[in-house]
Every structure is written in C-alpha cells, then in structure tokens.
Amino acid sequence: MSKGKNVHIKIGARILSLFFVLLFFILAGRFLYLQTAKEVDGHDLTVLAVDKWEKERTIEASRGQILDRNGESIAKDVPTYTLYAVVDENYSKNSKTPLHIVDARDAAKKLAPLLNMEVSEIERRLTPSKPNLFQVELGPKGRNINHQLMEKIKELNIPGIYFKREKKRLYPNGIFASHVIGFAQLDENGKLVGKMGIEKTFDDLLQGKDGRITYQSDRRGIKLPDPKEMIIPPENGKDVYLTIDQKIQTFLEGALNYVEKEYEPENIIGIVANAKTGEILAMGTRPSFDPNTREISNYMNEAISSRYEPGSTMKVFTLAAAIDAGVFNPNETFKSGSYRISDKVKAIRDHNRSGWGTITYLEGVQRSSNVAFAKIVNEKLGTDRFFDYLQRFHFDQKTGIDLPYEVAGNILFRYPIEKITTAFGQGTTVTPIQQIQAATAITNGGKMLKPYIIKKIVDPKTGEVIKEQNPTVVNEPIKKDTAQQVLNILETVVSSEAGTGKPYAIEGYKIAGKTGTAQIPDPKTGKYLTGHGNNIFSFLGFVPKDDPKLIVYVSVKRPKLEPTELGSAPVSYIFKTVAKNSLHYLNIAPSEKSETEKPVSKEGIQLPNVVGLPVNEAEKELEKLGLSIIKINETGKIKQQIPMPGTKVLPNEKIILKADGKMKMPDLSGWALRDVTKIAQMAHLKLNIIGSGYLNKQSIEAGSELKENDYLVVELLPPNPQEVPVEEEVKDEEIKFKNKDDEQLYQQLNGLIRD
C-alpha cells in the first residue's frame, strides 16, 4: 500500500469519526432538549405518555333499590354480561397463547348449546365478511347473560371470547304496582335512567354518583401489576321504601288479573289505603305491564292521572256535607222517581225510573236515589254551601302524592243543573286518589289526611334515614260526630235489605261503603254511552266499619257482562277478595255474630224441602235461613218450590212457592231476569223479554189472577242505568217484534204503566 493511499484512508477515517461525534452530540443534545423541554412539534410528551399508558375507567354507582314497607325488594340492580369475540389475529401478536378466535366452527359448536343458538348462526357471526374488524357480538342471545351462564362459558376456554359487564334493572315481581314503580332502562351512554313512576320521580336519588379509577396499562390496555393508581369511590344511590305492602298488593294484583280475564273491561283501578294514616298500601290498574319487558299500552297511572264522573260514590261526601250542616233528617220522607229543580230543565231521575214511592231519606241513601240527593242539595243544604264543602274536601286540588302526572278534579258548577247533578256524581269529575283523600276524613273523625306512597329514603351504606314521611292532616272538612254518622249510615247501604251494597258484605265483618255507577261521555256524540255494561262501576268501602283500618276503592270500566249480570259482580269480587284477605293478613278479627245471624257456608244455603207444608209454616221455615219468600198463593199446602229442594242458594235469594188455589202475579219491580224466569216457569207463562238488566215494566199487573199460557211481557233496564243525561227526555228505544201479538202485548204493557 502506497503512502498516498494511507493518507486518504486516515483523512476518511477522521471525517467519519467527526461525523459520528457530531451525530452523537446532535442526538445527545436532542435527548437533553427532550428531557428538559418535554415537547416535540408543540406536543407535550408527558401528556402523550399519559394518554398511551395511563387509563381511566368509570366505577358505576349502584342504583338504589325500591322496597316495600317491610323491606321486600321491588326493584334492584343485577349484574348482566354481554359476550363479544375478538376476531382480529393481530391481537395475538407477541402473545404465547392465542387471544382471538382461531377456529370459528369449533367455537360455535361449543357455544351453541349454552346460548340456545344454531351452530351455523354463531359461525357466521364469528366469520365476519368485513376486513379489519376487531370484534363482534352474537346478537340478542349473547346479551343479558347472567353470572352462572357466564361462568359456564368461561369454563370452555375458547380463545377470543370475552365479556362486558353491565347492569340490568330487575323487577322480581313482574306485573306488580307497575304504574307506581315505573321502570328504568339504559340510555345511549349505557346508564340506567328512570323513565316512569317512582323510578322517574326519584331518579336523581336512585342514581347516585359514579366514581373512577386511574391506572397504568400495557399496549393492549391491560392493567399492569402493582400500578400507581388513584381511586375515587362511587356514591351509590339511595334506597326508596314505599308504603306499599307486598302482601296486600299481591292480593290486589290477583283479583285484578281474574276480573281482567273474566270480564275483559276497558279499565280497572284498585287502591287500598291505611284509613288512619293515608298510606297507600296497594295501588294497581289494568291494563298493566311487566317492567322487565315493557310492553306498555298505557303510560298513565289512571289512579292519579284520570279524572271522570265518579257516579254515586260522590254521594258519600254530599251526605257528609248535609249531616255536618245539620240538614239531613234520615226519617223525613220524599217522593222518589223523578224531580225537577225548575221548569227550564228536564227531570232528574232515579236509576229505578218509576222510583220506590214515598220513602225516607235514609232509604234514599240505601237505594242510591239521585232524587234524594238532588233534593238535599237544592232544598236543604243549598248549592253555595255545597260548593264550600266540595272545596273543603279538596276536590278542586291535587293531593300532592309523590307520583308524576297527577291531575286535579274539575268541579262543574256553572249552571243550576250542574250544581245539583254534582250531588250524585254526574258532571263534576274527580280522580280516584282524590276520593281516597276525602274518605280519610270519614275514618279519622273529620280530619282529612294527605295520601302518601313514600315511607322513607335511606342511605344503604350508612343506614341513615335521609327523608321520612308521616301522616299529614291537610284539612278538617267535617266534625267528628259527622264522620261517625256517615259510617253508621253507609253500613246500612251494605247490610239493609234495600241497600245497593249488599254484594259487598263480608261474613263476620261490618262493612260501610257506597256503590257507584258512573256514566261515560261518548266523545263522538257528546252524549252518554248507553247499553248494559257501558258504565264505570265502582265501590268505596271502609273496613271494618266500627274502627276502619282500610279504605278500599275499586272501579271497573265497561266490563263485558251477561244480560242478567250486575255491574257489581266484577267490582265486588275485587273488593271482597282484597278486603277479606287483607283483614286476615293484618290480624283484624271478625266481629262477633249477633244471635239472629245465620252461619252461611262458602257454598251457600242448602234449600230444605217445604213441599206438603202449609204456606205459613213453609214461609217461617225458609225465613229462618234468611231467604226471601215469594208466594203466588196465600193458602193451602205447598205443591211446588223453585229452586228445587237440596239446591244451594245465597242469602236473600228469592224462593218461589206455589200452593193450592188461584195464582196471583207478584210485583216484579227491580227483579233480576232469573227470578222473573222462576215465576214464568212456576205459573206456566209465556215469557217475552225486552231489553236487559232488571225489571222496569210488566204487562200483567201485580195482584192480577194468573192463568196458564198467559203472555208475560217484561221490559228490563240495566242496573243503575242513568242512560240518558239528566237534561234530556227519556225516549222509548226502537224495538223489533217477532210478530203482531208481541207488539200488541207491548202496547198493552205501556198502557198499563201510563194508566
């Protein structure tokens, strides 16, 4: 090697060394700069590092429970899981074991039996057609997985299968005070939010406040061991205790279910309240829904959000006003049937349009006479004083119960006729919860209590009671003595022979209450609906009468009734089922029976054989059993009885007796069709029926001699029909006759009544 070449090599080596030295200093300087400035192109390196390695995760607060008065859970959070599968093979890089779906077919075979899915469907979802897809879900069957199923799937050790933990709101009782409780569901951010009822009203308290955890992770986002982490714990939601009693609510739900199935009504409302505190022990409506599945046809709680003409349950408060003002004389008499307040308006009519003749005002209450209450307000109490009592009972105000969308009643008091019809529940509209509130004045010596449904709100972590409600007196509309007199009179509505409340009697207990048959306006015509069953049938009851513990309100709108069936049938079933079971559950013992009371089995009274006995002896024998005797002969021995001997009948059922001698037609006014049929069968009469319900007119006059094969034409009207608005004349319905004979007989029938 020449000397010249060595020189060039040395020069090159120096230049290269200098380059590396310069590069070192440049890199070192850059490193020192980054260490001190911690910034590149305006980006803070500390922030970038934190974003890459430090993660923050929300720790969800548990939503508070909703519980009944005894601590039984009605709504609570439960953990659920959503299954997802990672299908991107890049997720398994640098991992000793696969972290993605390796064999879609094998995974599908293992998952199919547990998820109740087809293998082909799972395989299709695990083999996505779109490129660069990182993960997939398996549809509805892969969501809302419980903990047990999640563990079973984990035991399969399928690579690429993961779970996302979520919360679900569970309502363990299903359809249970659903319009009261409401429901909560996940919003777009995956958070449970109250949408209806208590869940909505108390959403802020129930939700609580989420916490968070900050931690370091690897490049895949997996939490590093022994990390430097910061935890802010969540504040769980508060527990809301209701005044609802799970047992009593269950009694109500069962009765509502039965009536809904058997009678297919348009609507049912049931409320049970503590008569001494105003606490709502049960509240239910139909149609209802299961908050777990939320197939909802009506979002409104009809017990507080629906105002309607209450019908005769309003007479409870008209009676209370009249007694309190000192103008009600139970022994004073009046002429029932119809009543005009002036020549300018049409007559007000009783539900039995021909009335019951001259009766006392006490009997007028028992028979639910519209005329009696119209006369009380118009001639004795006065409309101005009556309006004052309506306001005292707060029928123009909301009760303020802790439920959303409550409405107030509307007292219709513009025209003279409206001021009178309000007395018997027509025109003016109220809500069921307003009637419950007003009724507490009857059970608390005149002190009216605010109904409430929230018992207390509790911090589940500390047990601290955040809020607690107690009975609140909102007004004192009547005196103590008035309240007791009202209870005494309403007890006779149920116990007396003339009372409309007889179907609501409960063996062993004294029941006070008032029936109601409300008219339903037709939005198309502006008039009231007509026809059998086209009413809202209701009952407001106080049990037991001597020291009321419960107030029970039930209404059934437009049930499908048989032609001979009363509107009280579905209402009394609910009332008696709920009241009797609740009394037993609350250990409220029956009152002692009086000496004259006869024990009646649940199956009824077995009818003895009185054939062959003299009429007077047969009559005494049957009266001992509390039966109603109808004789078509006055003398001789009994030749026939209907129902037959050995038949089981109900108390006060009509027993038809036939003896020797001439037969005479009894007065059939107000009879049910089945009893009219007994007479026709006994006397061998040809029966023609017009209309449905209860007897209003009969072609053979009471007391007339009966002959076999005579025609008996009867006109029936629905019970408590109130079919025509009080300001309209009653018009005969258009009737189609089978033949001329029937038409002539009907004309004779009308002639008898007019004469």
Q: Could you tell me how many helices (H) and strands (E) the chain has, helices first?
A: 21, 35
Q: Which domains are seen in the chain, by residue range?
A: 60-242 (3.90.1310.10), 246-585 (3.40.710.10), 613-754 (3.30.10.20)
- In the sheet that holds 230-232, the strands lie side by side as 54-59, 211-216, 230-232
Mean pLDDT computed over 160-165: 89
101 pLDDT higher than 60: yes
Per-residue pLDDT tens digits for 646-678? 676 666 677 888 888 788 888 887 777 777 877
Query: Which residues are CB-contacts of 453 (< 8 A; sequence separation ≥ 6)?
Result: 180, 198, 242, 243, 244, 279, 280, 283, 401, 402, 403
Arithmetic mean of pLDDT over the chain: 83
- Residue 157 token pair: 């050790």
Q: Output the pLDDT for position 511.
A: 95
Which of the four pLDDT bands, split at 50, 70 and 90, describes residue 384?
very high
Cβ atoms 418, 412 nearer than 8 A: yes
Given the residues 62, 178, 288, 312, the one annotated as active site: 312
Per-residue pLDDT tens digits for 35-58? 665 565 555 555 545 555 555 667
Q: Which of 165-169, 402-406, 636-640, 738-742 has the highest mean pLDDT?
A: 402-406
- Residue 483 token pair: 């309240």
Question: What is the CB neighbour count within 10 angstroms for residue 555?
Answer: 29
3-state secondary structure 102-164: CCHHHHHHHHHHHHCCCHHHHHHHHCCCCCCCCEEECCHHHCCECHHHHHHHHCCCCCCEEEE
Per-residue pLDDT tens digits for 683-741? 888 777 776 666 778 888 888 888 887 878 877 775 543 333 333 333 333 344 444 44
Q: Which of 29-33, 187-191, 212-216 has the highest mean pLDDT?
A: 187-191
- The three-class DSSP label of residue 338 is strand
Check residue 382 and report its DSSP letter: -
Cross-strand pairs, 692: none
Mean pLDDT computed over 427-436: 96
Cβ atoms 713, 742 nearer than 8 A: yes
Per-residue pLDDT tens digits for 536-548? 999 999 999 999 9
Instruction: Clarify whether 312 is annotated catalytic.
Output: yes
Per-residue pLDDT tens digits for 273-299? 999 999 999 999 999 999 988 888 889
Calpha distance 441→324 (Å, rounded): 12
**Strand-pair category, 605-606 with 628-631:** unpaired
Cross-strand pairs, 192: 186
182 or 642: which carries more pLDDT confidence? 182
Least trusted range by pLDDT, from 304-313, 348-357, 417-426, 717-726: 717-726
Q: Output the pLDDT for position 302.
A: 95
Calpha distance 351→371 (Å, rounded): 9
Q: Which of 242-246, 353-357, 521-525 has the highest mean pLDDT?
A: 242-246
Q: Which amino acid is at 662?
A: K
Which of the four pLDDT bands, split at 50, 70 and 90, describes residue 625?
confident
Q: Output the pLDDT for position 159.
A: 92
Per-residue pLDDT tens digits for 315-328? 999 999 999 999 99
Q: Output the pLDDT for position 48.
A: 47
